[in-house]
Amino acid sequence: MKVLHLCDSIIGGTGSYLTELLPAQVAIYGAGNVALLIPGDQERYIEDSLRNSGVEFIFFSRPRRARGVMNLARSYHRLLKTYRPAIIHAHSWGAGLVTRVSRRPRGSSIIFCSHGWAFDINSLGWTTKRALALMERVLAARADHIIAISRHEFERGRDIGIPAAKMSVIVNSISGSVPTVPAEQWDDKRLRILFAGRFDRQKGLDILLRAIEPLHEKVTVRAIGEVVVSAPGSSETQPSWPHVTYLSWRGRDGVAAQMLASDLLVVPSRWEGFGLVALEAMRLSVPVAASAVGGLKEILGDGEYGFLFPPDDAEGLRQCIEALTIEKLNAMARKGNQRFLDDYRADKMVHGVERVYNQLAATRPIADPAQDRLPESSTHLVH
């Protein structure tokens, strides 16, 4: 079976998801049978485990987000002239739009995974949210199946009228293998707090910064990431404080090394379809404090496996931090790790996706073998 994945951005959770899923699919379907269409300017974000897995990479130009979606559409249509996959798996809004409004290739099934519904973005106005929800309900009919990465995402799909039979919950998961990296040096007697994610409004770094501003004698913060979506000069411009250190984007091993040196991971997202970074910390027995939104509430079991605070509430986060003790942190570290081991191992996710693929492939005619090929180079740039 040949599989084509495409997305308009691999930075953050979507990239981590693909890094877990695609190498396993190469092992199942064989080298040369799994391809990924992504922005060329994001090649540096490809993790080594994905880069060296046998996945075929095809790049498109993405100078700006809106222009990038148009270029993605052109690249997708051109690619399908030479490559006819059994499964087309679109990730996030732009790729989902392109694949579902386009004419379906003969013999292919289309799967969409939103990685967080666009209509759940809380900074959007009511009219825009309603329009996006209506669009998703209409476009759902153009997909053969929708994979929800959390129970929250599934329920939100049902809320806007997508039939339950059209969707499957296959929770986002990661490998049980702990990264074999040493902890970064972080000698400080204060509470060591780590943030890892985009420095954009969704991820709420500004909420964490407001929360810890007066706590300079009690906490120290390291923030890993960079601005990806927000425009320069926006509210995501970070203040310079002596108890806060900003680090550039890190690969997964680099993030793991920082996690191992920290006392607490804080995930202050304003909205979140899942929140994979929380699992990465729980795998390492690092306790997590997160805003009570979307998939984060689900991962932390409504506060049983991590510390929850109200969304978009810097004062609530400050109170959460000030109430922490070594005993509470150690207890939650153990609970969070056990939660990960019990429910979020990647093999379940891989097998769940494989079942969906097999069910869909059985309903489609076989594609033309003469068109069943990729461009010659595995790092081909489609203009």
Instruction: Give the model confidence (pLDDT) of 325-351 as tens digits.
Output: 999 999 999 999 999 999 998 999 999
Give yes or no for a contact between 162 and 236, defined as CB atoms under 8 angstroms apart. no
Banded model confidence at residue 237, pLDDT cuts 50, 70, 90: low
Give yes or no for a contact between 174 and 21, defined as CB atoms under 8 angstroms apart. no
Please write the tens of the pLDDT for every residue from 262-304: 999 999 999 998 889 999 999 999 999 999 998 999 999 999 9
Banded model confidence at residue 84, pLDDT cuts 50, 70, 90: confident
Banded model confidence at residue 229, pLDDT cuts 50, 70, 90: low
Give yes or no for a contact between 266 and 258, defined as CB atoms under 8 angstroms apart. no
pLDDT for residue 378: 45
- Report all structural domains of the chain as residue ranges with CATH numbers, in order of start: 3-175+345-382 (3.40.50.2000), 191-343 (3.40.50.2000)
Indicate the average pLDDT of the chain. 90
- Tell me how far the alpha carbon of residue 344 is from its chain's centroid: 14
Give yes or no for a contact between 38 and 57, defined as CB atoms under 8 angstroms apart. yes
pTM: 0.84
pLDDT at 231 over 90: no
Which residue's structure tokens are 């304003």? Answer: 270
Query: 12 in the Ramachandran plot: left (φ > 0), alpha (ψ -120 to 50) or beta?
Result: left
Which residue's structure tokens are 């939100």? Answer: 156
**Distance, CA of 99 to CA of 62 (rounded, Å):** 17
Q: Give the three-class secondary structure for 347.
A: helix
pLDDT for residue 370: 42
